[in-house]
Amino acid sequence: MFKRLKIAALVLFSLAFTIPVTALGGVHVENMQHPVNAPGVQLQCAYPRISGIGNAQNQQKLNSSLREQALCAQKQAEYAAKAAPVQGSFGYKVTRNESGMFSLVSTRILTQSGKTSTVCKGLTVDTANGKSYALRDLFVDHADYVGVLSEQVRAQIREKGLKQRGSFKQIGAEQDFYLTKTELVLLFPQGTSFHEEYGVQTFNISLQSLDGTLNRNIRI
């Protein structure tokens, strides 16, 4: 299982550092390298700087937040290295940049003493005004999105044969997520709902299957 986690970490690592300065859809993304030089730490760090958001103030806030995530990963690695050497990466992948929506997932991977921990965080914003979407914002008012999504998650848990920490009942109303062109991807942190050995768990849900409950701004 740990071997599979290491392979997954390498795949995420390669994705994080192959994104050049490019214009994707309506938002321009510049890949910023953040070198880390600290005792006991080997950390590759990259974060996006975006432009093309319709609201300059919100764009600045987004860029500050994205940079702060990278700095936070560095601080976490430096603190952990006081106990034992740490290797890892912080990077990101743009998952959607079209139809007025920009979405990405950032990934922090740290390996220490043979154990790998992974943290993923999604971000989805309206490119017209730079406001971030919460999960509820994707759906029409009064839609039972928690129930609908939880049913699909339960089905995928059975298909994957995942060992749970307790019995899964439903997602959180503010569940972390990101979007692709065709899917809503729900993120479950490592070691929360499922055993630590599974790492971060993702549940991909077709946007087409949610047609009728999605906000009209969410184009399928």
Q: How far apart are CA 44 and CA 47, in angstroms?
A: 10
Q: Which domains can be identified in the chain, with CATH numbers?
A: 1-133 (3.30.565.40), 134-215 (3.90.640.20)
Q: How far apart are CA 131 and CA 134, in angstroms?
A: 10
Q: Report the length, in residues, of the chain.
A: 220
- Sequence letter at residue 156: Q
Report pLDDT for 141: 94
Give the gyration radius of the chain's Cα atoms: 18
The DSSP H or E segment spanning 66 is helix 56-80
Residue 76 has pLDDT above 90, yes or no: yes
Q: What is the pTM assigned to this prediction?
A: 0.86
Report pLDDT for 8: 47
Cα-based distances in Å from 15 to 4, 66, 133: 17, 17, 24
Residue 14 has pLDDT above 50, yes or no: no
Q: Which of 23-32, 70-79, 179-188 is predicted least confidently? A: 23-32
Report pLDDT for 25: 57
Among the listed residues 29, 61, 23, the one whose alpha carbon sits nearest the alpha carbon of residue 46: 29
- pLDDT, one tens digit per residue, over 157-166 is 999 998 887 7
Q: Which of 4-8, 63-67, 74-78, 198-202 is predicted least confidently? A: 4-8
User: Mean pLDDT over residues 197-205, rounded?
Assistant: 93
Burial of 135 (0-12, 13-18, 19+ CB in 10 A): buried
Q: Please, what is the average pLDDT of the chain?
A: 89
137-176: buried (b, 16+ CB within 10 Å) or exposed (e) per residue?
A: ebbeeebebbeebbebbbeebeeeeeeeeeeeeebeeebb
More confident site: 161 or 12 = 161
Report pLDDT for 167: 80
N-term to C-term CA, the chain? 36
